[in-house]
Amino acid sequence: MTTTNQSPSISANGHTLAANQPTSTFEQDEEFRGFVLGTEQESSSPLAFSVFVAPGRYLQLDDVVHVRTALPDGRAIDLYGVVDEVNARHEGVQLTSDVALVREGILPAEPVVSAHVTVTRVEPEVYVPPMPGDAVRLAAGEARGRALFFDAMERRFPFGLARGDLVNAEPVYGNLDFLDGRKGAHVNISGISGVATKTSYATYLLYALFEGQRLGDLTANARALIFNVKGEDLLFLDHPNRKLDDVPTLREEYAKLDLPARPFGSVGFFAPVRRGEQPLPDTGSRSEGVTGFFWTLREFCEQGYLRFMFVDADTEQTQIAALVDTVTTHLQMEVRKSASDKMSIDGVDVTSFDELVDAIETHLDIDPESTMPSWAGRGYGQASLGTIRAFMRRLQAAARHLGHLVRSNQFGDPATHRIERNKQITVVDLHRLHDRAQRFVVGVLLHELLEEREGIGASENVPPVFVVVDELNKYAPREGTSPIKDTLLDIAERGRSLGVILIGAQQTASEVEQRIVANASFRIVGRLDTAEAQRAEYRFLGTTWRQRATLLTPGSMVVQQPEIPVPLLVRFPHPSWATRKSEVAAGSLAAAPGGSRDIIARFDDTPPLD
Amino acid sequence: MVVRLLPWQPEYGSGLTFDTEDEPDAFAPIDLTVEHQIWAPVTPEPGFPTPVQIVDGVRRADAHALDDGPDGTPVFGLFGSFAVGAVRCDGVARILEDRIRVERRYLHAGESIPDRAISSGATVVKFTSQRVSKGTNSQSLVAALNRDMLDAEAHLAAELSRDESVLTLVDGPLRSLRSPGRRVVGYIKRIQQWYVGPAERELLPTLEPGERTPLFLISPGTGIEQQHNDGRYSWFLPLRRLGVTYHPLGGVMRLETSGTLPIAEVIALADETARLLPGLSSMPGKDPRAPHNLVPVGALETVLTHRLGDRRWVQRLLTAHVGREARHTMYA
């Protein structure tokens, strides 16, 4: 009983692909991979089908394939898909030990390979299954672009290279409209610290956008704010990486992505001022070109930054929050009574954060005999003694860690120690700050950014600001509320219209506020912990990718984007900028002003002040 | 008295179908001394298993039918399919794909009934009309289908056996092959008669895999297979140790080859089978007819059955075809 398929002759890319053509013709077709399967277990459907991989050919995970099937009226339907599983077996063999018999030459059985394909695109949109026996070809070049919707992306940026050797690797693109706020915004990156290379990838994305000029006219005025929280990874962005010279293929990889291979061109570095009387930046191995930043006491009181000192997730649920608000209001009233260049309370100048704390404590005295006006309220509204004590405990603890970031208006020249986003990339180095101080700085900066953006108003031509925040689980944990979490939620939900784009990262998305993760147009996953990969937050990965995500190596990420129904694996090139001092290409540091003087390097190993 | 099991699964019957009351001398004359004077185990020289090819076939009754003959007498019909093929083990086991033949018949006792080609989409299934002279009941039609299959097997075996570099094994008693090669052996899975007497049979449970009984000659015109005019050489060998659960006679196989061959060649063939067959035999639990259904043959049967087409699909095709035809004839 022979089956002859009489479907009409169809042609794809110059090759005749009739189902009834002799198999020998396919041998000359380099892209031919096999035939669509139609068994009971592996039936074909419009959304997924299996392929019998022809002997002598192979398909691997992530291969992009194309099938042309014919409707009864002869119209051709093109189905594109991505291989997400490949299976090999001895056909007809059922028992475990049979494999030994096959090897001994006793049991006849042929190894067969089948691959499972998830359909990504159907052109035109007639959702019929490809017919069993239809030829499956590897989609390369234009066909691959169609399979992955790259052809429909008017503005696109390179996510990285698809897996494969460098010669054959092709770029994987993302649709910029979904990144810069036109149709969507925000990126969320998950993965184990150290292995998942989350920060490196976020930096790569910024590089692709800024140095790759992918933002078009807005590139010049677009900005990025990135926090350096671990090590000194981001403090040498403006220096070329020595690997550009040492690894010959690195430049080719950048060329494949149509990106230059060089350091970032426009970077401003900021670090908190050190304790003591000099407004010097508190950094490690780099001091040149780094601006020390602090806020003045007056700014602190005027802008109500006090609340960013109370960042524990539970703060909002307690009476402390009410007291923070009351104290903030009183401080703002005192600002109005002060001379324009100083901060005074009750007419007495406050010149340090400790003095401010003392003043607050004095005003919270609820002794009924006291003559001072109490900020703790009177009568029913009065804060309890317990609340006041808890408030003071937290304030004093915070003051220990970040009091040096809020200085008198007479400390140095405050105007030259603000974080200005006048360079394309603004790096704020927090790695030597205590956790509580880190959260204060991030909270204040994000708040400032949002305020500023709200003033400008929404428009398509407002250049976007990208904010990279790692450890989102610390700033926007799933449980509880805090001022920073509110700010981040605000960015996630309204940032798109304000041109504030959040590139958030965390080890575990399951510990981050769901709405922040859900609002990200692009979800990216590096290597995941096995248990974490099974959480509902990664359902978008599908079964196979959840498994594979636990095996990803540094430099490989899985990208899910709105237009493509399957996650894609990308490799991004090794940074062309230095990620530590030892990587800085020879000659680059010396050329930089003050490069040979490295007076602060000896503090390198000092642990962050506690 | 020790009760032990016979290894075949009961739905395949039993591997031993002889009658314990059969008189041994009913099958005389048998010559037990063609190889040795004494009836004792023969242990062939050790050696590598020979390349072998095994021919087999499968058949299937697809649908029984009943036709009203011209004079009103009922005429039985049978739609049946069979496939024959061969598997070759010469270091690698493989099905000889290009030798597989699939045939379909409409067997009947009627007159001038045409072939039936049933098409479904691009597929055409053709049942060749074949008159069976004594097809007066349905069993005889099934037997006729079986004969057709055996003929096809014999035809294939004769053809393949001309390659004498390989040992050719044929399923069942050796039938008359048209000009076969000299290295053809028939293997009998189901023992219906022993040919040898009770005293000689006592040797069988004591044999180890790799050993065999001496050859014996079954004279022409003896036994069930009347057509062997030249007689047949035959021998027994155990296929594998089955353990205490199973009776050792349950693991014995009888083989035979043409009586016209020189005795030296027959001895060589018998030795080859003793070296080869234990390795090809199947294990109880893996095959319902273990150890007799050889492993390559089990795989061949699966492939051949598969080539017959899905049973329900063929039946469905027949139902539709016959139904349309009947409606057309009866209501036209």
- Taking the Cβ of residue A265 and every Cβ of chain B, the question of whether any pair is shorter than 8 Å is answered with no
pLDDT value, residue A583: 86
- Taking the Cβ of residue A5 and every Cβ of chain B, the question of whether any pair is shorter than 8 Å is answered with yes
Q: How far apart are CA A124 and CA A130, in angstroms?
A: 13
pLDDT value, residue B107: 95
**And the tokens for A319?**
């009476």
Which of A91, A104, A110 is the mutation pick for testing B, counting most B CBs within 10 A? A104
Chain B nearest C-alpha distance from A3 (Å): 5
pLDDT value, residue B28: 55
pLDDT value, residue A428: 94
Q: How far apart are CA A2 and CA B9, in angstroms?
A: 34
Q: How far apart are CA A519 and CA A496, in angstroms?
A: 10
DSSP class per residue in B243-277? -TTB-GGGGEEEEEEETTS-HHHHHHHHHHHHHHH
Q: Do A102 and B309 touch (CB under 8 A)?
A: no
The shortest CB-CB distance from A105 to any of B93, B286, B303 is to B93
> CB under 8 Å, gap of 24 or more: what pairs does A9-18 form?
A10/A68, A10/A70, A10/A76, A12/A66, A12/A68, A12/A76, A12/A78, A12/A137, A13/A143, A15/A137, A17/A68, A17/A134, A17/A135, A17/A137
Which of B48, B123, B240 is the mutation pick for testing A, counting most A CBs within 10 A? B123
Chain B nearest C-alpha distance from A109 (Å): 7
At a CB cut-off of 8 Å and minimum separation 6, what does B307 contact? A1, B83, B85, B100, B102
Q: How far apart are CA A467 and CA A217, in angstroms?
A: 20
Is pLDDT at B205 greater than 90 in this prediction? yes
- Taking the Cβ of residue A111 and every Cβ of chain B, the question of whether any pair is shorter than 8 Å is answered with no
Q: Do B302 and A1 touch (CB under 8 A)?
A: no
Q: Packing angle between helix A385-402 and helix A319-337, nearest 10 degrees?
A: 60
Which residue is closest to A107 within chain B, CA to CA?
B296
- Taking the Cβ of residue A601 and every Cβ of chain B, the question of whether any pair is shorter than 8 Å is answered with no
Q: How far apart are CA A270 and CA B249, in angstroms?
A: 92
The shortest CB-CB distance from B302 to any of A6, A92, A106 is to A92
- Taking the Cβ of residue A112 and every Cβ of chain B, the question of whether any pair is shorter than 8 Å is answered with no
- Taking the Cβ of residue B241 and every Cβ of chain A, the question of whether any pair is shorter than 8 Å is answered with no
DSSP class per residue in B176-211? --SS--S-EEEEESSBS--SS-HHHHTTGGGPPBTB
8 A C-beta contact, residue A63 and residue A83: yes
pLDDT value, residue A17: 39
Q: Do A105 and B89 touch (CB under 8 A)?
A: yes
In chain B, which among 77-116 make CB contacts under 8 A with chain A? Answer: 87, 89-95, 102
Closest of A113, A132, A109, A137 to residue A5, by C-alpha = A132
Chain A nearest C-alpha distance from B94 (Å): 5
At a CB cut-off of 8 Å and minimum separation 6, what does B69 contact? B75, B110
Most confident among A447-456, A593-602, B22-31, B59-68 (mean pLDDT):
B59-68
Q: DSSP state, A416?
A: G
Residue B73: Cβ within 10 Å count: 11
User: pLDDT means per 10 residues in chain A (610 residues)?
Assistant: 38 39 72 93 94 94 94 95 93 84 87 95 94 94 91 92 77 92 92 86 94 88 90 88 89 92 93 86 82 92 90 65 88 88 86 91 76 70 81 89 88 83 92 90 92 77 90 89 89 90 93 92 93 90 89 91 90 91 76 39 38
**And the tokens for A215?**
């933002």
8 A C-beta contact, residue B206 and residue B249: no
8 A C-beta contact, residue B265 and residue B182: yes
Chain B nearest C-alpha distance from A1 (Å): 6
Q: How far apart are CA A331 and CA A325, in angstroms?
A: 10
Q: How far apart are CA A120 and CA B262, in angstroms?
A: 70
Q: Tell me the average pLDDT of chain A.
A: 85
The shortest CB-CB distance from B93 to any of A1, A3, A107 is to A107
Residue A329: Cβ within 10 Å count: 12
Share of chain A above pLDDT 90, in %: 47
In chain A, which among 129-188 make CB contacts under 8 A with chain B? Answer: none
* A77 DSSP β-pair partners: A69
The shortest CB-CB distance from A101 to any of B87, B123, B295 is to B295
Q: Do A105 and B90 touch (CB under 8 A)?
A: yes
Burial class (CB in 10 A: 0-12, 13-18, 19+), A582: exposed
Q: Packing angle between helix A385-402 and helix A435-456, nearest 10 degrees?
A: 90
Name the residue type at position A176: L
**Cβ-based contacts of B56 with chain A (< 8 Å):** none
8 A C-beta contact, residue B51 and residue B167: yes
Burial class (CB in 10 A: 0-12, 13-18, 19+), A536: exposed
Tens-digit pLDDT profile for residues B82-120: 999 999 999 899 999 999 999 999 999 888 889 999 988
Chain A nearest C-alpha distance from B309 (Å): 7
- Taking the Cβ of residue B218 and every Cβ of chain A, the question of whether any pair is shorter than 8 Å is answered with no
Q: Do B296 and A108 touch (CB under 8 A)?
A: yes
**And the tokens for A480?**
């509880």
What angle (nearest 5°) sits at the alpha carbon of residue A293, between those of residues A289 and A298? 155
The shortest CB-CB distance from B93 to any of A5, A95, A102 is to A102
Which of A2, A20, A95, A107 is the mutation pick for testing B, counting most B CBs within 10 A? A107
Which of B82, B125, B277, B286 is the mutation pick for testing A, counting most A CBs within 10 A? B286
| pTM (predicted TM-score) | 0.77
What angle (nearest 5°) sits at the alpha carbon of residue A289, between those of residues A283 and A290? 35
Share of chain B above pLDDT 70, in %: 94
Q: How far apart are CA A362 and CA A355, in angstroms?
A: 10
- Cα-to-chain-centroid distance, residue A455: 27
**Cβ-based contacts of A106 with chain B (< 8 Å):** 89, 93, 279-280, 295-296
Q: Do A109 and B302 touch (CB under 8 A)?
A: no
At a CB cut-off of 8 Å and minimum separation 6, what does B281 contact? B239, B240, B290, B291, B292, B294, B295
- Taking the Cβ of residue B295 and every Cβ of chain A, the question of whether any pair is shorter than 8 Å is answered with yes
- Cα-to-chain-centroid distance, residue A378: 48
Which of A97, A103, A106, A112 is the mutation pick for testing B, counting most B CBs within 10 A? A106
Tens-digit pLDDT profile for residues B152-179: 999 999 999 999 999 999 998 877 677 7
**Cβ-based contacts of B87 with chain A (< 8 Å):** 108
At a CB cut-off of 8 Å and minimum separation 6, what does A526 contact? A189, A190, A191, A192, A195, A196, A197, A198, A201, A549, A552, A554, A556, A557, A558
Q: Do A106 and B280 touch (CB under 8 A)?
A: yes
8 A C-beta contact, residue B318 and residue B118: yes
Q: How far apart are CA B254 and CA B259, in angstroms?
A: 15
Tens-digit pLDDT profile for residues A200-242: 999 999 999 999 998 888 888 899 999 988 888 889 999 999 9
pLDDT value, residue A314: 60
pLDDT value, residue A23: 54
Q: What beta strand segments (E) does A204-350 contain?
A: 223-228, 267-272, 290-293, 295-296, 344-345, 348-349
Q: How far apart are CA A86 and CA A430, in angstroms?
A: 46
Which residue is closest to A102 within chain B, CA to CA?
B93
The shortest CB-CB distance from A105 to any of B92, B122, B125 is to B92
Q: Do A108 and B300 touch (CB under 8 A)?
A: yes
Contact pairs from chain A to chain B, CB under 8 Å: 48
CA distances from B166 to A182, B90, B96 (A): 75, 8, 14
- Taking the Cβ of residue B285 and every Cβ of chain A, the question of whether any pair is shorter than 8 Å is answered with no
- Taking the Cβ of residue A596 and every Cβ of chain B, the question of whether any pair is shorter than 8 Å is answered with no
Q: How far apart are CA A306 and CA A321, in angstroms?
A: 11
Q: How far apart are CA B321 and CA B117, in angstroms?
A: 9
